[in-house]
Every structure is written in structure tokens, then in C-alpha cells.
């Protein structure tokens, strides 16, 4: 229930950060201004006794986040990829949130597997290890299928995870509404819609059957991609709370020293990570939306291995074209083009000044180009971008949240592998290929083909629609309430005529 009781949950969040010492560390990491530090201290200190103690063996911020629960852990996973925002030391501390959280007992996992699959562990698997990785939603066991001897990964949902997430998200909803009430200007950022979007994503992540379906679709889409592999799901060994898939053997993406020691080209790997994400987002419109270090490995032959498909992103073809044009505009430093695309797509209100918006984008983009990647302050860049969105009244696009979030995470992963990576140089070939394939004559022909297919499906109805429209136009005096209602169900006369002519011309061209 989204009621005032959630105030205690939010106060406890601040109190936990204060009690564990995480408040000071977090404020130092983001270089918070003095006024914010004073406000946080004044608001947090009186309620310190309400905060969770957490595990004293963990660093302060990690200790606070793990004590607060899975929804906070998800946010910490994102920050763990952004050493350029929170600093290398804090990012390294947060990285344990990706796959090294405290596991639940193996016996509990076995009982869940047996209940879900309806057979004993011994019948299903000849080997079943202790947890090899544990994250916020589930933990993974290494096992061997009894029937075939194949080595697999068995992912088991944490018991009670649904209730824990409901409690956290309930508090987030309350906080979002409270923020909108106190600060009407924040409504353009649509905090309640953002929380609802996060809620829907997390809900899907708690059904392993959906993750298996996502893995299967993703594997089909990417089967021709070079230097990339996806572990296949085993449907007969999976259920709502259990997912069994091929075992992925490789070095962790987050261990740069181990990759170098194994002889891998870290620059090539980092570039490949960026390009794979863009290929999947632009080409397929279906991408891995949780590509942090804990979900990526590097195989002995240098292939990038991706797993954990609980969170997937999907964008339609129009949005892909808009996104590609924006990226290409930045790559070419054509800020007028970037601004124009934003206006055409409706991302910026029409009453704003396009030229002024282009200059604001230039102030964002120019410091990046020609600069050493290690000297770019992503914290300052993100802060200025937020100022730009506020100044021009841009509203949060919930359909782009996963895309934008994943881009931030993927960039962080790539830079952790190769700190000197030029993100724009890595992105350019993929975006250029997409632009050539989807914004030229081939794209126009493809679009026309889709129009023909759509019109063709409605072909049998066209004669009746045209006849009805023409008759009612010629006999308006005979219109009755019933016929008026019937007329409302048909297309406008002029549109029917245009569609009919277009259909005839398109079919004629196709046959010719």
C-alpha cells in the first residue's frame, strides 16, 4: 500500500547511509557541494539510530546498499560500472553487488529446483555445486545433467524476493509522488512513470520462463555475430523459479589484469562490447539491458560471452532511426542536426529555440572530442546534460530509459577494460552502417513493401469501404444515427481514395 508508512522506509534509507558511514563516502565520491552535505547531515544524523546496521565487514556504501535490499542493489550495480562518476575505489567496492552477494543455502536451492521441476535433484543432475555467483534476484549453481553429462548453469530465484521488491518499490512510488508534490517542476522528469517502468522490468525478471524466452530470441538474433556467444536455455530443466542453460566458461569482464595476463587484446574487447550493444539495439531493436561486468565473460578464444537475460530492452524501428541520427550527429559534431532530430521526434517542446538547443548540445559534446578519455569527467558531463534537459523543458522518455541506462553501463564496462577507449570511434562504424542501410533508398523500398503488405491484408475490405463511403457522401440526407455511427467506423473518404490508388499502384509495381 502506497501510504505514509513509506515515510519510515525512506527515512530509514537515509539513516542507514548515515549509520554505516556511507553518506560521507557517497557525497565525497560525487563531489557534492557544501550545502548538500550540510542538508544530508542535518536530515540523516537525528534518525541515525533507525538505520540498518548491515555487515560491518563490508565497505560503507556496499554495506548500506546490501542492508537496504534488492531494489537498492540494482541501483548499486549500475554505479559499479561508472568509475568515472563515483571514482575507481568506490566502483571496485560496489562491483561485489554484481555477483558476490551473500548466497542462500544450497539445500534451499535444491528444494526449489525439485518443487519447480517435479523431480529429485539426483534424478535431474549428477552434480550440483555450492553457489558460484549470487546477485540481487537469484544465485547460480554449476551442475551436470544426469541424462547427458552436459555441464550447465542452474539459476535459482531467491526465496521471498517478490515481497522484498514490492516493499522497496512501494516506497519508491511514494517518494516519486512526494517529489512531484513538493517540486512541480520535477514532473517533466516523470518520476512516477520511471518507477512504474522499473517495477515492470523487475516483475519480468522474477519469472525465469520469460528469461529463457529472451535468451532464446537473443541467441537467434545474434547467431551470426562474430566474437559473441549466448548460452542456450534448457527448456525441460527450467520453470518459473529455475533456469538451466549452457555453462559459459571464461574470464570475468571486470578483471582487466587477468585479461591482459591471458594475452587478450583489451582494446579490441572494449571496442567489441560497445559495438555489440549498438548492433543489437539498432539492428534488432532487442538488446541486453543489464550488461554490467557480472553478466559478461571473455572466452579463451576472445569471444564475448553474455548471460543473465532477465532485463532486456526493446525499441521500435522509428525510435532506432532517431537514436542513430542523434548518435551520428554527435559523431560528426553536427549539433544542428542533433537538435533538429530532437525537435522532429518531439523530445524537445516546439516552443523552444532550436538554435539555442544546438549550442547547448555543442557545450556538452565539444569537451569530449579530442580529449584523453581518462580526463573526461562523466560526472560533470551528466550534470550539465541534466541542466540542458531542465532548461529546455524536456520530459523523460520512459520508452528510452533502458536504452539510455544500458548505454551508460556499457560505456562504463568498456572503459574499465580499456580506460583510453574512444567511445565515439568505437561507435562510428556500427552507426554509419545502420544509417546507410536504414535511411537511404533501401530503407524507402523496405518501407513501401511494408505498406503494400498492410494494404494487402485489408484488400478484401477495400471495395466495401469505398462503396460505403461514396454512397454516404452522395446521399447525406439519408444518414441516420445508425449510419452515422457506421460511417465513424470507416476511414475518411479522401483517405480511402488515396489508399485505394496507392494500393493499386503498389500492387502494379510489385507485379510489374
Catalytic center residues? 290
Query: Cβ–Cβ contacts within 10 Å for residue 6, how many?
Result: 20
- What pairs with residue 228 in β-bridges? 304
Q: Residue 489 and residue 482: Cα distance in Å, rounded?
A: 11
Residues β-bridged to residue 133:
140
Neighbours of 28 (CB within 10 A): 13
- The edge-to-edge listing of strands for the beta sheet with 125-134 is 125-134, 138-145, 151-157, 242-246
Question: CA-CA distance, 335 to 357, in Å (whole number)?
Answer: 9
In the three-class reduction of DSSP (H, G, I as helix; E, B as strand; rest coil), residue 156 is classed as: strand
Rounded Cα distance, 26 and 30, in Å: 6
**Could you tell me which residues come within 8 angstroms of residue 366 by beta carbon, excluding any fewer than 6 positions away?**
333
The Cα 364–Cα 338 span in angstroms is: 12
CA angle (77, 82, 88) in 5-degree steps: 105
Angstrom CA distances, 459 to 41, 409, 456, 508, 510, stand at 69, 47, 5, 14, 15
DSSP state of 184: G
Distance CA 327, CA 313 (A): 18
Tell me if residue 126 falls in helix, strand or coil. Answer: strand
Amino acid at each position: 500500500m502506497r501510504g505514509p508508512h513509506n515515510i519510515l522506509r525512506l527515512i530509514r534509507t537515509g539513516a542507514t547511509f548515515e549509520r554505516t558511514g556511507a553518506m560521507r563516502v557517497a557525497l565525497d565520491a560525487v563531489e557534492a557541494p557544501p550545502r548538500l552535505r550540510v542538508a544530508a547531515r542535518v536530515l540523516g544524523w537525528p534518525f541515525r539510530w533507525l538505520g540498518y546496521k548491515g555487515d560491518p565487514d563490508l565497505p560503507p556504501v556496499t554495506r548500506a546498499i546490501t542492508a537496504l535490499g534488492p531494489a537498492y542493489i540494482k541501483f548499486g550495480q549500475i554505479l559499479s560500472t561508472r568509475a568515472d562518476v563515483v571514482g575507481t575505489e568506490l566502483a571496485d567496492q560496489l562491483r561485489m553487488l554484481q555477483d558476490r552477494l551473500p548466497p542462500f543455502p544450497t539445500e534451499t536451492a535444491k528444494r526449489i529446483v525439485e518443487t519447480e521441476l517435479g523431480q529429485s535433484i539426483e534424478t535431474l543432475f549428477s552434480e550440483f555445486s555450492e553457489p558460484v555467483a549470487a546477485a540481487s534476484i537469484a544465485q547460480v549453481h554449476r551442475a551436470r545433467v544426469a541424462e547427458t553429462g552436459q555441464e550447465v548453469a542452474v539459476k535459482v530465484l531467491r526465496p521471498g524476493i517478490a515481497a522484498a521488491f514490492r516493499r522497496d518499490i512501494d516506497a519508491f512510488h511514494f517518494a516519486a509522488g512526494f517529489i512531484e508534490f513538493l517540486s512541480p517542476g520535477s514532473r517533466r522528469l516523470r518520476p512516477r512513470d520511471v518507477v512504474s517502468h522499473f517495477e515492470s522490468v523487475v516483475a519480468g525478471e522474477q519469472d525465469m520462463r520469460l528469461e529463457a524466452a529472451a535468451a532464446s530470441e537473443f541467441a537467434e538474433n545474434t547467431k551470426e555475430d562474430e566474437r559473441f556467444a549466448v548460452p542456450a536455455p534448457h527448456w525441460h530443466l527450467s520453470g518459473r523459479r529455475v533456469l538451466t542453460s549452457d555453462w559459459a566458461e571464461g574470464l570475468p569482464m571486470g578483471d582487466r589484469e587477468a585479461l591482459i595476463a591471458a594475452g587478450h587484446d583489451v582494446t579490441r574487447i572494449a571496442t567489441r562490447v560497445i559495438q555489440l550493444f549498438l548492433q543489437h539495439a539498432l539492428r534488432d531493436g532487442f538488446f541486453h539491458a543489464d550488461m554490467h561486468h557480472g553478466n559478461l565473460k571473455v572466452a579463451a578464444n576472445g569471444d564475448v560471452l553474455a548471460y543473465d537475460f532477465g532485463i532486456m530492452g526493446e525499441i521500435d524501428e522509428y525510435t532506432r532511426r532517431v537514436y542513430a541520427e542523434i548518435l551520428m550527429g554527435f559523431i560528426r559534431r553536427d549539433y544542428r542536426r542533433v537538435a533538429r532530430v530532437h525537435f522532429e521526434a518531439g523530445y524537445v517542446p516546439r516552443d523552444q529555440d532550436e538554435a539555442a538547443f544546438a549550442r547547448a548540445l555543442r557545450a556538452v559534446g565539444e569537451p569530449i572530442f579530442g580529449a584523453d578519455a581518462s580526463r573526461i569527467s562523466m560526472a560533470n558531463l551528466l550534470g550539465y546534460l541534466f541542466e540542458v534537459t531542465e532548461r529546455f523543458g524536456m520530459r523523460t522518455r520512459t520508452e528510452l530509459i533502458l536504452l539510455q541506462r544500458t548505454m551508460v553501463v556499457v560505456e562504463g564496462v568498456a572503459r574499465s577494460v580499456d580506460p583510453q577507449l574512444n567511445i565515439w570511434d568505437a561507435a562510428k562504424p556500427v552507426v554509419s552502417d545502420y544509417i546507410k542501410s536504414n535511411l537511404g533508398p533501401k530503407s524507402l523500398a523496405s518501407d513501401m513493401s511494408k505498406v503494400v503488405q498492410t494494404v494487402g491484408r485489408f484488400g478484401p475490405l477495400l471495395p466495401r469501404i469505398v462503396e460505403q463511403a461514396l454512397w454516404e457522401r452522395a446521399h447525406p440526407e439519408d444518414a441516420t444515427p445508425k449510419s452515422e455511427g457506421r460511417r465513424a467506423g470507416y476511414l475518411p473518404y479522401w483517405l480511402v481514395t488515396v489508399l485505394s490508388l496507392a494500393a493499386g499502384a503498389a500492387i502494379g509495381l510489385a507485379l510489374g
